Structure formats: C-alpha cells, structure tokens
Amino acid sequence: MKIEKIDHIGIAVKKIEDAFKFYSENFNLKISEPIEVLSQKVRVAFIEIGGVKLELIEPLGGDSPVAKFIKKKGEGLHHICFQVDDIEDALKKLKENEVRLVDQVPRVGATGKRIAFLHPESAFGVLIELKEK
C-alpha cells in the first residue's frame, strides 16, 4: 500500500453556503458546485488549496450520519482522506493488521472514485478515508 498524498480534509457544516462565505470573504477561495450524495444523505462541495481540498459536508435531513455528528460534536473537522494507489490492496493489508474498518469493501464516493473508511477507534480518534487515485 502506498499513500500518495492527503487528498482532502472533510469538514462537517450545517450549511455549505454559510461556511463557504467565510472561506471566500476571508481567503478569497473558490468552491465547486455542491453535489448531493443521497446514499450518504449529504451534500458536499470542494475548496481546493494547493492540490489539497477541503470537503464541506452538509447533512441532508436529521437522520444523516453527519447530522448526528454535528449534534454530538458540533461543526468542525470530520475526516481526513489519504489517496492510495490501490484501495483493494490497502484494505487487505489493514484487515491483516486487524484495523477496524467501516467499509469492508470499497464503495463509490461523491467524485466517482472508490473510497473506504477506517473506524476512528482503530486510528486514535481520527476518521480516515482512503480514496483510490
């Protein structure tokens, strides 16, 4: 398994437009068109900064996992995403190492790439996403 770079940092927000106002007014950053990911009950939009993106994640409805996250912890850092060369190989290696996974097999993420989440219990409290190049 090879981690190539940090692909993005996920930030849970109540409303993408409100959060983006902060980034645009203070840092003059641009944002991608929000995408709805109905399987995850979220809307996401990306802000690119020097090859690394911030992923603003807004819950769609009160039963969205991100709505529960915000209710419990408030808005803020949600996950960090590593870009990997081969996601199948990465998950195999992690299973061998008995790392607890949220996704046993890869699924298709918001941008059409294959992704998988590791459980924060196995990663010192950090929710880690893997994304295939």
Contact residues toward Zn ion (CB under 5 A) are: 10, 55, 81, 129
DSSP states of 4-42 as a string? EEEEEEEEE-S-HHHHHHHHHHHH----PPPEEETTTTE
User: Of the two residues 96 and 112, which places its CB atom closer to Zn ion in the complex?
Assistant: 112
User: Of the two residues 55 and 132, which places its CB atom closer to Zn ion in the complex?
Assistant: 55
Shortest distance in whole angstroms from residue 81 CB to Zn ion:
5
User: Of the two residues 55 and 58, which places its CB atom closer to Zn ion in the complex?
Assistant: 55
User: Of the two residues 67 and 81, which places its CB atom closer to Zn ion in the complex?
Assistant: 81
Shortest distance in whole angstroms from residue 117 CB to Zn ion:
9
Shortest distance in whole angstroms from residue 79 CB to Zn ion:
6
**Diameter of the chain measured on Cα atoms:** 46
Phi-psi region of 125 (alpha: psi -120 to 50; beta: other; left: phi over 0): left
Please, are residues 91 and 106 in contact by the beta-carbon 8 Å criterion?
A: yes
Please, are residues 9 and 52 in contact by the beta-carbon 8 Å criterion?
A: yes
Shortest distance in whole angstroms from residue 18 CB to Zn ion:
20
